[in-house]
Amino acid sequence: MFAILKKEISSFFASPIGYLVIGLFLVVNGLFLWVFNGSYNIFDNGFANLTPFFTLAPWIFLFLIPAITMKSFSEEIRQGTLELLLTKPLSTWKLVLGKYLAALVLIIMALIPTLLYIATIYYLGKPEGNLDSGVIIGSYFGLLFLGACYTAIGIFASILSPNQIVSFILAIFLCFISYFAFDALADLNLFSIGAFGAEDLGLSAHYESISRGVIDTRDLVYFISFAVFFLALTNFSLQIKREAR
């Protein structure tokens, strides 16, 4: 597994992909938070908090993470190297986890520079240092768990097609449905479905819950179960491919 992890991380930074992903994430966030006028601009809001960033980041992740994961298995299938990997004495779970953790490391690396936003908000506050640290910490944990779930979806999408563009579009669709669809369904209140907590099935409700600064075990169980579910689907698909050889 660690050999796959090391290989994947090296491939990210051996090409412009790793630098481009991190750069785009930081540039897009920077423009919306500090330059462009609008609801995400921290100066326009008049409050020294990072709520705009934590509201914007899930939307950026929606496109960024599928771009990272789309080649994970699609490229292996297209080049025929997946067959070679499946002949090695390596369990399919280790192969899946190696690629998953490599993509997750890249996402974490993209998030690390945003910690500078905290220092900026700290000095912008009146009085200086007027921060709700609990909310900020909870929101960062929420972003990490959300990124972990999106990554699991992206890895699964990449095993379904040898075409990276198809995997990219499919991952965006699945991430969008997982994050936004259940809230929209609950708002429609068809057959009183909202009363049954349809929104709790989506990523959005649990992300917002943990972003309040209270890390609830129910949210943790949900995020972990969600990621494991899609990783298990990926592993199942790989096992089918191995048996079909």
Cα 14 from Cα 22, distance rounded (Å): 14
Tell me if 173 sits within 8 A of 155, measured CB to CB. Answer: no
Cα 25 from Cα 66, distance rounded (Å): 13
Cα 61 from Cα 110, distance rounded (Å): 11
- Dihedral sign for Cα 83, 88, 91, 94, please: negative
The full length of the chain comes to 245
Give 49's pLDDT tier (boundaries 50, 70, 90). Answer: confident
Name the pTM for this structure.
Answer: 0.91
User: How far lies 216's CA from each of 1, 43, 212, 221, in Å?
Assistant: 31, 32, 10, 9
Tell me if 58 sits within 8 A of 207, measured CB to CB. Answer: yes
Instruction: Tell me the two tokens of residue 27.
Output: 């540039």
Residue predicted with more confidence, 143 or 190: 143
Number of neighbours of residue 168 by Cβ within 10 angstroms: 22
pLDDT number for residue 193? 47
pLDDT number for residue 194? 47
What is the DSSP code (8-state) at residue 177? I
pLDDT cut 90: percent of the chain above it: 47
Give 231's pLDDT tier (boundaries 50, 70, 90). Answer: very high
Average pLDDT over residues 98-120: 92
Q: Report whether pLDDT(29) > 70.
A: yes
Average pLDDT over residues 90-108: 92
Q: Report whether pLDDT(105) > 90.
A: yes
Torsion of CA 130, 113, 4, 145, to 10 degrees: 30
Query: Mean pLDDT for the chain?
Result: 86
- Dihedral sign for Cα 14, 16, 21, 26, please: positive
Give 113's pLDDT tier (boundaries 50, 70, 90). Answer: very high
Give 39's pLDDT tier (boundaries 50, 70, 90). Answer: confident
Number of H helices, E strands in the chain: 13, 0
Give 81's pLDDT tier (boundaries 50, 70, 90). Answer: confident
